[in-house]
Amino acid sequence: MADKPSPDVEACLLAHLNSGSEVPDSRSYASSLGVSHKELEDVIKSLSAFRIVESTDVTKETWVLTEEARGYVANGSPEAQLVAAIPPEGASKDVLKEKLGSVFDIGMKTAAKNKWIGFEKGNKDLVLRKVDNIKDELQEQLKRLESGESASDKVIDDLKRRKLIMKEKSIWYALKKGPQFVAKRKKLATDVTQEHLRSGDWKEIEFKDYNFGAQGQPIAVGYVQPLLEVREAIENIFLQMGFSEMPTNNFVESSFWNFDALFQPQQHPARDSHDTFFLEAPAATKQLPEDYLEKVKEVHQSGGYGSKGYGYDWKREEAEKNLLRTHTTAVSTRMLYKLAQEKPFAPKRYYSIDRVFRNEAVDRTHLAEFHQIEGLICDYGLTLGDLIGVLEDFFSSLGMSKLRFKPAYNPYTEPSMEIFSYHDGLKKWVEVGNSGMFRPEMLLPMGLPEGVNVIAWGLSLERPTMILYGIDNIRDLFGPKVDFNLIKSNPLCRLGL
Ligand code: PHE
């Protein structure tokens, strides 16, 4: 088909109205122009926004024919098609069925009811034609509906039941001149350009009014990842409680600082490659503080400071093995060692929030890398009561004020406690962290004075964040599968924290 140049719909419509005519029905006007109703509709919307034309919506629900019904309009109703297919001598059902397909079964019923067909006595298979002329009422009804005539309720119900018609809502418009009518719309300028200034035509041209009600473009600013948001909130709690941050910029750590200095025996299952990522290169650390290393070796092998030790043969090679740190308690240990070297001793409160790594199977609640929050207080004469009090302060600032503690075991703390908090939303107690008092076997070899205690606790950053944001799969929060839209649509305010 050759492309017909499409008419300038706006110009045609304005000229039509300008000549004094109106448009009672946009549908027929569109077809008189040879354009789709949609195309005309766009023009109408734009013109009525400027009140150049006045349009009145007309909505009507009409019955339209289904595809099946349109077939019957073209070829006759199934019963009529059936009768037409029967020759004077009659035809067998199989022959007719082959000829008519699905129309055969539908047509048989009505044709029999109307007594248009019959059967020979003793031969139920031969279909005979009983009338010469028939009046195809169904086809006529459908034709009438198609041309816009109305039909009785009974007819409509019947056609609806046979799925030959369906309701369709249509909208069209009645158009006349609007209060701002113009025979030709002027194109308004939107910007003063260099050209306008040079030619001086800016003095004559009309500019489009500013639309102060228009919505601005969304601003492409950065969005805060939930983990970073919660991290900052927690950081602020630590800072308000007088804690200072520890340097956490070493993901790679030696077994010595991650395990040995914490009085964790070299046979401990956590030191297995199933739980810990060991480095292939460099596989071993070069530097360890020799004096201190001797003391750590001694306390593992034979104890001291009131301890019996573990009584095994401590190996330096084991301590030198490099790994990805499995907890930020390695950071705390380095800090405490450093603190022990400063004389005279001064009490300290330290915190850190950073990444740790565990060789674990990844699932809805576990990742091989996550973030740990760690806090510690180092001072003379601290007790378990102090630890419980600090934890209550800390967690209630996080919005978790109902706490319970359960005795637990860590090689480096005694006593140790798991921390549970009652979650009002989930209506149950959830584990939120682990805590304890560092053992003398860990603190005294470092050189901390007798009588100095360290209370400490650790928790993951992901867990409270998931609870706060109602996220039940950790992979939606951290890692390559995170949906940026989730981050963009984060509420600015949350309940809790
Ligand atoms: N390191 C512990 C963990 O990884 C947390 C902890 C920190 C426990 C400090 C006691 C004291 O779960």
Q: For residue range 15-64, what is the model confidence (pLDDT) as tens digits?
A: 999 999 999 999 999 999 999 999 999 999 999 998 999 999 999 888 88
pLDDT digit string (tens) for 238-276? Answer: 999 999 999 999 999 999 999 999 999 999 988 988 899
pLDDT digit string (tens) for 209-242? Answer: 888 998 988 887 888 888 998 999 999 999 999 9
Task: Determine the pLDDT at residue 2.
Answer: 44
Confidence of residue 484 (pLDDT cuts 50, 70, 90): confident
Under DSSP, the state recorded for 477 is: T
* Mean pLDDT value across the chain: 91
**DSSP readout, 51-119?**
TSEEEEEEEEEEEEE-HHHHHHHHH--HHHHHHHH--TT-EEHHHHHHHHTHHHHHHHHHHHHTT-EEE
Are 471 and 441 a contacting pair, CB within 8 Å? Answer: no
Whether pLDDT at 442 is above 70: yes
Q: Which residue has the higher pLDDT, 86 or 469?
A: 86
Residue 393 CA to ligand 1 center (angstroms) comes to 18
pTM (whole model) above 0.85: no
pLDDT digit string (tens) for 263-311? Answer: 999 999 889 888 999 999 999 999 999 999 999 999 999 999 999 999 9
Task: Determine the pLDDT at residue 4.
Answer: 55
Report the C-alpha gap between 327 and 358 in whole angstroms: 9
Comparing CA positions, the residue from 251, 248, 255, 271 lying closest to residue 359 is 271
Closest ligand 1 atom number to CA of residue 327 = 4
Whether pLDDT at 1 is above 60: no
* Ligand 1 neighbourhood includes 266 CB (under 6 angstroms): no
Closest ligand 1 atom number to CA of residue 326 = 4
Task: Determine the pLDDT at residue 494.
Answer: 64
Residue 223 CA to ligand 1 center (angstroms) comes to 31
* Ligand 1 neighbourhood includes 456 CB (under 6 angstroms): yes
Residue 435 CA to ligand 1 center (angstroms) comes to 6
* Ligand 1 neighbourhood includes 375 CB (under 6 angstroms): no
Residue 413 CA to ligand 1 center (angstroms) comes to 9
- Gyration radius (Cα) of the chain, Å: 43
Residue 342 CA to ligand 1 center (angstroms) comes to 25
Confidence of residue 186 (pLDDT cuts 50, 70, 90): confident
Whether pLDDT at 5 is above 70: no
Report the nearest-CA residue for atom 2 of ligand 1.
458
Confidence of residue 496 (pLDDT cuts 50, 70, 90): low
Best residue for ligand 1 mutational test, from 434, 460, 463 (most atoms within 8 Å of Cβ): 434
* Ligand 1 neighbourhood includes 457 CB (under 6 angstroms): yes
Provide the token pair at 120.
């020979």
Are 373 and 332 a contacting pair, CB within 8 Å? Answer: no
pLDDT digit string (tens) for 424-440? Answer: 777 889 888 999 999 99
Give me the sign of the Cα torsion angle 87, 89, 94, 95.
negative
Best residue for ligand 1 mutational test, from 275, 327, 366, 376 (most atoms within 8 Å of Cβ): 327
Q: Which residue has the higher pLDDT, 365 or 6?
A: 365
Task: Determine the pLDDT at residue 469.
Answer: 82
Confidence of residue 490 (pLDDT cuts 50, 70, 90): confident
Report the C-alpha gap between 471 and 270 in whole angstroms: 29
Whether pLDDT at 495 is above 70: no
